[in-house]
Amino acid sequence: MQQIARNKVFGGWQKRYRHQSQVLGCEMVFSVFLPPQAERGPVPVLYWLSGLTCDDQNFVTKAGAQRYAAEYGLAVVAPDTSPRGNDVPDDDAWDVAKGAGFYLNATEAPWSQHYRMYDYIVEELPVLINETQPVDATKCGIFGHSMGGHGALTIALKNTERYHSVSAFSPICAPMQCPWGEKAFNLYLGPDQSTWQKYDASVLIAEVDTKMPLLIDQGTADDFLSAQLKPELLQAACDACNHPLTLRMQPGYDHSYYFVSSFIGDHIKHHADALCAL
C-alpha cells in the first residue's frame, strides 16, 4: 500500500492510498480521513460509497464531512466506485462499467473477472484498513450517495453483524424496478432476475432479522427521483415488515453534492450516536 497524498484538516489527516487489489485484479485508490482522536487510539470507522461516474475524490473534496468526523471522532474511508485500469472491461455508456460498479459481484463475462465490488468493500478493503489504520473494527458503519446509497443499504442489510449503522443520500432504492438497475443487473448478473434480488434493498428488507434503523435523505427537486430512485418502494417495504426508516424529503434539493454537504452533519451524527454507544 502506497500513500499518495496527505493533508491536515480540522485537526486530523486526510490521506489517499494506492494498492493492488487481489479481488478486483487491478490497482485501486481509496481515501481515509483520520480524526485527531485517532492519535490517542482506535476510533469507529465509516465507509462512504459514492455514486455513478464518481471516484473517492468527489466525497473528499465536496461533502464537507471532515469537520463533523473530527467533531465526533470517526474515521471515514472512501473507496472508488469500480475497478480501473487498461485491462478492465469498459462500456461507452456512463451508467455501466468503469465508474459504475454497483457494489455487486458480477457473474457474467467479461465483467466477472474484475467487477467484484461487493467483495472488495465487504472483505478485502476492511482487512487492509483494519491492519494499517487506527480504527476499531467492532464499531463500523456505512453510508453513501445514489448508486453508493444503494450499495450502502444492500451491504448493511446483508451484513448486520458487521455494520451497526447505515444511512444514504438519494439511494437507488429498488434497482430491479428502475432503468439504471435493470441495465446494470442484466449486464453484470444476466437475465435471471432471481439473482438480482440479493442486491435490491426493497427486497432484502423483508429478509433481515436485525432491524437496524435506516436514515435516508432525498431531495424533492432531484431529476432522478421518480424514474430511478423510487424511495416510496423502500418505504412500503419497510412499512410491510415494520423496519424502522426515517425518510426525509428535503424540499428544493437536487442530486448534487450541494445537497449532500447540506445534511452530511446529520448523517455523521446518526452514525456517531449508534457506534459510540457500542
**Active-site residue list:** 146, 222, 255
CB atoms within 10 A of CB 7: 12
**DSSP H helix total and E strand total for the chain:** 9, 9
Alpha-carbon span 37 to 272, nearest angstrom: 13
Looking up cell 438519494 gives 170
Interstrand relation of 75-79 and 26-34 (parallel, antiparallel or unpaired): antiparallel
Alpha-carbon span 127 to 23, nearest angstrom: 12
Alpha-carbon span 186 to 159, nearest angstrom: 24
Q: Phi and psi for 16 in degrees, rounded to 5?
A: -135, 140
